């Protein structure tokens, strides 16, 4: 298996800038961070051509512009060996617009990637020459091996300690690769993309099923995924995830990190591939352009799950593009935690004092260590992230700070966190604003967390209520006002020099937290 800890750094000047602590861009919008100049990736896929412009090259890249054009370049490659003429015209027009957009956004580093259709079509080289002339940069026509590698890096970039088989389903091909943490296998590429299957089977789902069965039967290595996670990448599979959310009434409409038990995925996929596309046309969560390929995507997922036998199927919004950006980072940047990186960026952009959020981490570490409440490494990681984003709602009306912060966190563009983790973060910050009992903001999201994690969210919310009341969200106070459990009592110490900060509001919040953890509250001043 490959080990990405020795990845050769690229784009060193941009990468070095993102290693610094996040800071706002000078002379630009206050809502932007200084990660160096914007970077962009144009992905010329078999079905779509997409431009994504990112704020900068960083461990947790934030898109500032994202546009897709469904061109269908690969819809006839299997039968004619050629990129469809009208698809080429549409793709060239899209590339001209994308280059103009990059110039408008002052992108200083542009990568253009091309996948299965362009590498397999006889007229692919001619199209690539046109694309290079428009974009003014070389087009990297990815080999199947390289496409699988970048798909794996996309999962490593976006999932916390991934362990399982990743499958990236495009219009022309399916890449499959085994991932364990930061290591991954060589991977395989199969001609099982939605457009390729539709073309090779002459739009017969029965013929397509035979093609899928034959291709997957030869991949014995997939059995290594048994009982692990299958990571589903690609627009068609994300459309399936949205359809499943719609059908089940799932409360959090974020596809990244959405997980379904394997057996349920298998049964749902079988159902979808048998549904008439006319029925899908009445379901708004599936776009018009995705509907014709949905049954083929469901067919492939059904048979992949049948062969791999994973425990869970988890959907990823990150794939080849983000894998490429990850590969351009320095080794220290690659080792950063993407969730904590994003939380620090939110802290910088939205908190009254970013330094206070950092101090809150140490302050709650001290409290939790003494509290007798056991905490796993993952729970500690989530608590640290919550401390960093605990003050992002302060500009809202007091009656809605909890609700606004809850919505920002629950629906934020975070990676490296699953849906229960998202719910925990949102609830902890909500309790910090709205009180320890009130869970009216989104009671359905409470169902996504375990009883233990709901309790931990309330404890952290209660601790933050004490911290913010004594410090007014300003730095330099918390390190001088430690709180810990001593001899069965919850003790908050305020030194003589800060004694005026004590008062009934501080005592009341300390009392609330004490009741929550079953400890007698004691405020020591002087």
CATH number at residue 452: 1.10.3210.10
Q: Which of 133, 109, 42, 321 is nearest to 125 (CA)?
A: 133
328 assigned to some structural domain: no
Distance CA 474, CA 409 (A): 22
How sure is the predictor about 105, in pLDDT bands with cuts at 50, 70 and 90? very high
Q: Are residues 122 and 177 in the same domain?
A: no
Q: How far is CA 210 from CA 153, 272, 291, in A?
A: 31, 18, 21
Q: Taking 90 as the threshold, does the pLDDT of residue 232 lie above it?
A: yes
Question: Is the Cβ–Cβ distance between 160 and 231 less than 8 Å?
Answer: no
Q: What is the pLDDT of residue 120?
A: 93
More confident residue, 73 or 19: 73
Share the mean pLDDT of the chain.
90
Q: What is the pLDDT of residue 260?
A: 97
Q: What is the pLDDT of residue 11?
A: 34
Token pair 């960083």: residue = 58
70 assigned to some structural domain: yes
The two tokens of residue 304 are 């992949």
How sure is the predictor about 375, in pLDDT bands with cuts at 50, 70 and 90? very high
Q: What is the pLDDT of residue 29?
A: 52
Q: What is the pLDDT of residue 36?
A: 83
The two tokens of residue 352 are 């009254």
Distance CA 337, CA 59 (A): 8
Instruction: Tell me the sheet residues that pair with 24.
Output: 33
Q: Are residues 315 and 342 in the same domain?
A: no
363 assigned to some structural domain: yes
Question: Across residues 320-334, what is the average pLDDT?
Answer: 96
Q: Are residues 189 and 311 in the same domain?
A: yes
Q: Are residues 454 and 344 in the same domain?
A: yes
Q: What is the pLDDT of residue 19?
A: 43
Distance CA 438, CA 301 (A): 41
Q: Are residues 128 and 249 in the same domain?
A: no
Q: Taking 90 as the threshold, does the pLDDT of residue 371 lie above it?
A: yes
Question: Across residues 172-199, what is the average pLDDT?
Answer: 94
Question: Is the Cβ–Cβ distance between 344 and 361 less than 8 Å?
Answer: no
If DSSP states are collapsed to H, E and C, what string results for 446-467? HCCCCHHHHHHHHHHHHHHHHH
Q: Are residues 113 and 254 in the same domain?
A: no
Domain count, the chain: 3
Summarize pLDDT for 50-96 with one digit per residue, the tens: 999 999 999 999 999 999 999 999 999 999 999 999 999 999 999 99
Q: Are residues 64 and 21 in the same domain?
A: yes
Q: What is the pLDDT of residue 278?
A: 57
H/E stretch holding 146 reads helix 144-158
Residue numbers of the domain that contains 116: 2-142
329 assigned to some structural domain: no
332 assigned to some structural domain: no
Question: Across residues 472-480, what is the average pLDDT?
Answer: 97
11 assigned to some structural domain: yes
């Amino acid at each position: 298996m490959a080990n990405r800890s020795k990845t050769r750094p690229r784009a060193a000047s941009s990468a070095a800038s993102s290693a610094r602590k996040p800071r706002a861009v000078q002379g630009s919008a206050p809502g932007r961070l200084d990660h160096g100049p914007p970077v962009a990736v144009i992905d010329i896929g078999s079905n779509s051509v997409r431009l994504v412009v990112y704020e900068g090259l960083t461990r947790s890249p934030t898109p500032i512009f994202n546009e897709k054009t469904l061109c269908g370049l690969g819809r006839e490659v299997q039968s004619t060996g050629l990129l469809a003429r009208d698809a080429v015209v549409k793709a060239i027009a899209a590339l001209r617009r994308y280059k103009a957009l990059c110039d408008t956004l002052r992108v200083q580093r542009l990568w253009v990637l091309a996948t299965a259709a362009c590498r397999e079509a006889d007229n692919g080289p001619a199209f690539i020459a046109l694309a290079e002339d428009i974009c003014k940069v070389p087009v990297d026509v990815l080999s199947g091996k390289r496409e699988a590698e970048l798909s794996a890096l996309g999962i490593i970039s976006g999932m916390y300690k991934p362990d399982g088989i990743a499958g990236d389903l495009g219009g022309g091909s399916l890449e499959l690769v085994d991932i364990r943490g930061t290591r991954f296998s060589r991977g395989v590429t199969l001609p099982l993309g939605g457009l390729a299957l539709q073309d090779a089977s002459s739009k017969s789902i029965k013929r397509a099923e035979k093609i899928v069965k034959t291709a997957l039967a030869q991949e014995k290595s997939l059995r290594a995924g048994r009982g692990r996670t299958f990571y589903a990448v690609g627009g068609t599979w994300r459309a399936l995830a949205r359809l499943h959310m719609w059908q089940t009434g799932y409360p959090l409409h974020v596809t990244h990190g959405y997980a379904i038990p394997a057996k349920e995925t298998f049964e749902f996929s079988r159902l979808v591939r048998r549904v008439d596309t006319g029925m899908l046309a009445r379901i708004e969560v599936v776009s018009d352009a995705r509907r014709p390929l949905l049954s083929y995507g469901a067919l492939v997922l059904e048979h992949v799950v049948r062969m791999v036998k994973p425990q869970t199927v988890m959907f990823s919004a990150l794939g080849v593009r983000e894998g490429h950006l990850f590969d351009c980072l320095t080794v220290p940047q690659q080792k950063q935690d993407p969730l904590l990186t994003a939380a620090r960026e939110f802290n910088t952009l939205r908190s009254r004092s970013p330094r206070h959020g950092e101090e809150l981490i140490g302050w709650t570490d001290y409290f939790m260590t003494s509290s007798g409440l056991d905490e796993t490494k993952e729970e500690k990681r989530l608590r640290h992230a919550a401390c960093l984003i605990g003050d992002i709602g302060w500009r809202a009306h007091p009656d809605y700070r909890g609700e606004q912060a809850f919505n920002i966190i629950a629906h934020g563009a975070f990676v490296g966190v699953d849906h229960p983790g998202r719910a925990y973060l949102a609830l902890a910050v909500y309790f910090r604003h709205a009180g320890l009992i009130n869970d009216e903001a989104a009671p359905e999201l409470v169902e996504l967390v375990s009883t233990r994690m709901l309790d931990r969210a309330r404890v952290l919310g209660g601790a933050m209520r004490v911290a913010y009341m004594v410090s007014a969200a300003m730095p330099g106070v918390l390190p001088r006002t430690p709180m810990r459990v001593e001899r069965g009592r919850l003790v908050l110490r305020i030194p003589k020099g800060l004694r005026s900060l004590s008062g009934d509001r501080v005592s009341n919040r300390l009392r609330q937290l004490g009741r929550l953890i079953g400890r007698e509250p004691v405020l020591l001043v002087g």
